Chain A
Amino acid sequence: MKTANEFRAGQVLSLNGQAWVVLKAEFNKSGRNAAVVKMKLKNLLTGASQEPVFKADDKLEPIILERSQVTYSYFADPLYVFMDEEYNQIEVEKENLGDTLNFMTDGMTDVCEAVFYEGKAISIELPTTIVRTVSYTEPAVRGDTSGKVMKMATLENGYELQVAAFVEIGDAIEIDTRTGEFKGRAKN
């Protein structure tokens, strides 16, 4: 069993005897150190979706599925096509990528994990930390290097997130894919 806050996009859990893939998991602190998680789930058999809320420490049963390492090749609407180590093409429907879509970009070289259910790829999990380039942000604020002051930045695929005030256009930044949050400037 895993707690609700340990699940992230791409993972699969069992709910009332059925398999559901997590498309999105939103974590919020509710009060007095308690937290809640809202998930967007898709039923792997029926395709039905639901958006339940759990206490962060609710225990849920993960379903361990077959996985293989893949890299992104190209997008052929509505399919994202990946390649495994043996050069097999693996297609995943766009709507099954959930939050992973935020960080999909042409030319990305991240080694991802494709997750299979009954022989079909049903989701993609990104590495915990990825590096992306900032295509636009307001100019850096002089003097503030603490990293506590944040501002908006846009990635090359158009996704926006909060970054530290010292980040500049063209900077490569590290992002935590579990939370979608900026971690820091990428090391060379």
Chain B
Amino acid sequence: MSLMPDPTSQRHWHLFCRVIDNFGDIGVCWRLARQLHQQHGQQVTLWVDDLSSFRALCPALDYSLAEQQQQGIVIRHWAEDFPLLSPQQTGDVVIEAFACELPQSYIAAMQQRERTACWINLEYLSAEDWVPGFHLSQSPVHGLSKTFFFPGFVQGTGGLLCEPELALLPHQMAEGAARQAFLSSFGLAPALADCALQISLFAYENPALAGLLDALQAWPQTVHLLVPAGRVSAGLDDWLGETTQAGHTYQRGRLSISLLPFMSQPQYDQLLAMCDLNLVRGEESFVRAQMLGKPMLWHIYRQEEDAHLDKLEAFLGLYCDRNNLSDRMLAEHLVGAFRHWNQAPDSALAAGAEAHEHWHGLLQQLPAWQTHAVAWQQQLQALGDLASNLVHYATDRV
């Protein structure tokens, strides 16, 4: 969907991204940059410290260049020797993503601007109940005021990233021809699109993986498990007893396991949209699966002192809240499954008959889960999307 931006609301945005690990940081920033430009007509410069990681998501990127343009976005390498910019060269809106620190020289240039910039710290996603109380709070630093902007799942937060056209994708990918074409594009047999159950798997290393694979193998219908390249591959190789390769499919009974190469964001969206269940991780894929209205099981990023478990429980508190999910049997299964997938089970649940019972019980709930996923998606959409909420906030201030 293409919207005509209001030219009077056009601003120059500078978005700063440090790649800490994996692709979540740059994944979110790249989506946000494109949406700000394509949907809202904003001029966007994206500063990235690690262009080689970025290239995995944007293959056209030339990481030898300090500055280039991709899809209408100016990409600049955020090198250690940050260039000296004049105040006029700084952004009208400056976003430091995920609490990264802006270069001192850049802050000094911001301090000298005639018209104060709208400086935003785009924070991590959390469902915890303190988030609305922190959202849009001001931070008086360096003689300027910075706004803390929190994405979130409830009113009083900044919402989640989502392009208007995303909701149409599951309908498009429900077509057999679209599924077959998608599989073929990765060298996979189109007939795999006929498997009764399509599941995507994107996770960190996970001791519960073997139990899941055992259960999928024992499932009475055909299952196609699609696994994009990533940190779960070693566990998969262990279970299969062989070294897997992208573009190949491994058969174990009724279970077909296809390995996929690292894919672009639009391709990953298609994968999520065509699957009946998505196992996702971190923040980026977790949000995409929800905004597509698909059942998803989240492998949360592990934090010190098990802080991630509080965040997991906070999310489950919303996702499975009685007001959002009246089917209490489904809620019970979901809570059990999310905890099981995230808490490195050392019990019998990790494998064997109890694991089968656990996973099969969950899979039997898939039709009800799909209904819940769509209702949840609609609830999130009602919050407005993150990019639009940012534009609305910043436009009023610069």
Q: Do A and B bind each other?
A: yes
A residues with a Cβ closer than 8 A to B are 15-16, 26, 28-34, 36, 38, 50-55, 58
Known: A30-B99, A31-B301. A36 touches B148 (CB 8 A): yes
User: Does chain A have a CB within 8 A of B140?
Assistant: yes
| Residue B126, interface by CB 8 Å | yes
Which chain B residue shows the least CB distance to A59?
A: B141
Binds A, one of B117-125, B161-169, B367-375: B117-125
Task: Identify the B interface with A (CB < 8 A).
Answer: 20, 98-99, 121, 123-126, 128, 130, 133-134, 137-141, 143, 148, 283, 301, 303-304, 307, 310-311
Determine whether the beta carbon of B140 is less than 8 Å from that of A30: no
Q: How far is the CA of A52 from the CA of B121 in the complex (A)?
A: 13
Q: Tell which of B20, B283, B307 has the most Cβ of chain A within 10 Å.
A: B307
Q: With the chains together, A33 CA to B133 CA distance in Å?
A: 20
Q: A29 touching B141 by the CB < 8 A rule?
A: no
List 11 A–B pairs whose Cβ atoms lie within 8 Å, in order of A's numbering: A29-B310, A31-B123, A32-B20, A33-B307, A36-B134, A36-B148, A52-B139, A54-B141, A55-B99, A55-B139, A58-B141
Closest partner residue, chain A, to B283 (CB atom): A31
Instruction: List 10 tightest A-B contacts by C-beta distance, closest first.
Output: A31-B124, A53-B137, A29-B307, A53-B148, A30-B124, A34-B99, A28-B130, A33-B304, A53-B139, A30-B123
In the bound complex, CA of A54 to CA of B310 (Å): 21
A32 contacts B98, CB within 8 Å?
A: yes
Q: What separation, in Å, do the CA atoms of A33 and B308 have in the docked complex?
A: 9
Evaluate whether A52 and B140 lie within 8 angstroms (CB atoms) in the complex, with A32-B20, A33-B304 already known: yes
B137 pairs with A32, CB closer than 8 A: no
**CB < 8 Å neighbour of B139 from A26, A34, A58:** A58
Residue of B with least CB distance to A30: B124
Q: Are B138 and A38 in contact (CB under 8 A)?
A: no
Tell me the dominant secondary structure on chain A's binding face: strand
Closest approach, in angstroms, between the C-beta of A3 and any C-beta of chain B? Answer: 13
| Residues of chain A contacted by B128 (CB below 8 angstroms) | 28
Q: How far is the CA of A34 from the CA of B98 in the complex (A)?
A: 9
Q: For B130, give its contact among A26, A32, A33, A34 (CB under 8 Å).
A: A26
- Selected from B98, B133, B137, the residue in CB contact (under 8 A) with A52 is B137
Q: List chain A residues, Cβ under 8 A from B20.
A: 32
- Contacts A38-B133, A55-B99: A30 and B138 contacting too (C-beta < 8 A)? no
| A8 CB, min distance to chain B CBs, angstroms | 17
Q: Considering the chains assembled together, what is the distance between the CA atoms of A83 and B126 in angstroms? A: 45
Contact residues in A for B310 (Cβ distance below 8 Å): 29
Would A28 and B125 count as touching, CB distance under 8 A? no
- Please indicate the chain B residues that have their CB under 8 angstroms from the CB of A16 in the complex: 140, 143
Whether A55 contacts B121 in the complex (CB less than 8 A), given A29-B303, A31-B126, comes out as: yes
Question: In this complex, what residue of B is CB-closest to A27?
Answer: B130
A34 to B164, CA, bound (A): 31
What distance in Å separates the Cβ of B123 from its nearest Cβ neighbour in chain A?
Answer: 5
**Known pairs A28-B130, A28-B134, A30-B99; A36 contacts B123 (CB<8 A):** yes
Nearest B-chain residue to A54, judged by Cβ: B139
13 more A-B contacts (CB under 8 A) besides A31-B283, A38-B137, A52-B137? Answer: A28-B134, A29-B303, A30-B124, A30-B126, A31-B124, A32-B124, A33-B307, A34-B98, A36-B148, A38-B133, A53-B137, A54-B139, A55-B121
